[in-house]
Structure 1
Amino acid sequence: MTVRLDHLEVFALVVRAGGFRAAAAARGVSQSVISQAIRGLEQTLGIRLLNRTTRSMALTEAGERLLERLRPALDDINSALVELDRLREEPSGTLRINAPGPAVDHILCPLAFAFMKAHPAVKIEIVSDAAIIDIVEHGFDAGVRFGQQLQQDMIAVPLGRPLRYAIVASADYLNERGRPGTPSDLIGHDCIRRRYPGGALADWAFQKGDESLQITPEGRLTLSSAHQELQAAIAGQGIAHVFEDYARSHIADGSLVEVLADWSPRLPSWFLYYPDKRHQSAAMRAFLEMVRQSAR
């Protein structure tokens, strides 16, 4: 036996409104539509729910029992629909975003802090992850990657300014081991290597004018994050290759020295990407607007 939910709603509405005519007016349909719904419900259940004449209407015992059990369930459904309306109209609920560490550290966290201050009813969960994943399958509202790493059928908006790598080391290290003038001079230096979660070692890319090259760094120390690499470089353990945003304050205070600056290529900005924009929550729409304003 399959009972239509809309027929149950009509039944409760008829009782609440006090008759078929008032229920039809409340629903914006004809009285015959209401009558057909009640007849269909009674036929499906195989029992009469309402005794009605041309002048009056009254619940049967079966109708009273059904209504008694039905009201709490319909109230729960209505509450859920009201909550969904709030999600659609007012920024609330939870946003989940997947992004690589550098984007989280320098762009997403500042944006998230400002957004949460402006929208106290919104919770944000940011997962730092450099792996390429299907954000829909893993339950994320949005992701951050470079343009060439974006999934198909996704909408993307620029997130932040263009990026640049910095090659840095401590003054003590450079005084002892010498300062490289070209990328080839890195041979024989202790380069602090980066291993990605998938196991691959990061190559270092260089560009000067029309000349570009890529090297696989050699060194005794291999780490897995820019924060660790900076600590090692400041401690004099070698030369690090990190996003400029990480190194800028350390270069400014003298704890690190930048080398090969004229060989450092510029990269496109990060992109925030997300599925089809239809049926977005109000929280997601508001966050996208803040991202666009930040990009401008």
Structure 2
Amino acid sequence: MISSEAALEDLRREIDRVDDSIHDLLIHRVGIVQRIAQVKREGGLRFRPGREARMLRRLIARHRGPFPKPVLARIWREMLGATVRMQGEFSIGVYAVNGEQGCWDLARNHFGAHAPIMLHASAGQIVSDVAGGKATAGVLPRPREDDPQPWWPLLLTGEGAMPRIVARLPFAGRIRGRAEDIDAVVIACQPPEDSGDDITLVAIDMADTVSRATLKSAMRRCDLEPLFFASRHDPNKAGRETTLTEVKGFVLQDDKRLQRLAGTPRGGIQKVQVVGGYAVPLAERMLAEG
């Protein structure tokens, strides 16, 4: 009769064999990533938030057993962060002011424990660094309606290719600690990707006489479902304001719905500009056990 200790040793050796197999597959995966990096030297996106979102959704959907889904997602996020850095220089500017480092926690959780992060107390500095190539990406607080000094209008100024919002954090469940009640977005000088389930952010330059209800009705008539509004009055543009809104779906700048929205209602809307988009984060029910 096999003793319990001998049975345990057999199981431990089996775990070691599984670990070796996992490691071998990881080495093989890295080899594929290196081949991708060779192709990307001829052009291509630095990182792929949309593809990463599709990947995590697929893995979470196929997962079974008692291993926690948020931990599974964290393992893949570490791997994705590491392989992105293998494909070229990669650094992140992160917003942190008055000792609040919730965005730092979100960035570290998303891009990996060894991601090169630079902390800044100025959102403008982060936007400038990303626009100028000093940082590959920036992590900033998610725009909100009650922000007295919103940073998002910075994406509408400047010359050349300005950064765009390309991801929302957290994507795969909230982490405990300083970032437990914080939402952030990632900006980068690349267009957002269609992940199959997305939110698009649109900036609308309009007369300040256009009410929120009128704007909402105009958007719905153009088959655009608004989810969120935040407005900013520019003192240099008397009688006008810029409103940031989130709409359901992946919407490009040349979308005919945006073209219909421009010029309505009665010429009150002057300009409609896509400032980014992000994959809808995984719902808590998708990450629950079972």
TM-score, normalization: structure 1? 0.28
What TM-score results when the alignment is normalised by the length of structure 2?
Answer: 0.28
Return the structure number with greater relative CO, CA threshold 8 A, min gap 6.
Answer: 1
Q: Which has the larger radius of gyration?
A: 1
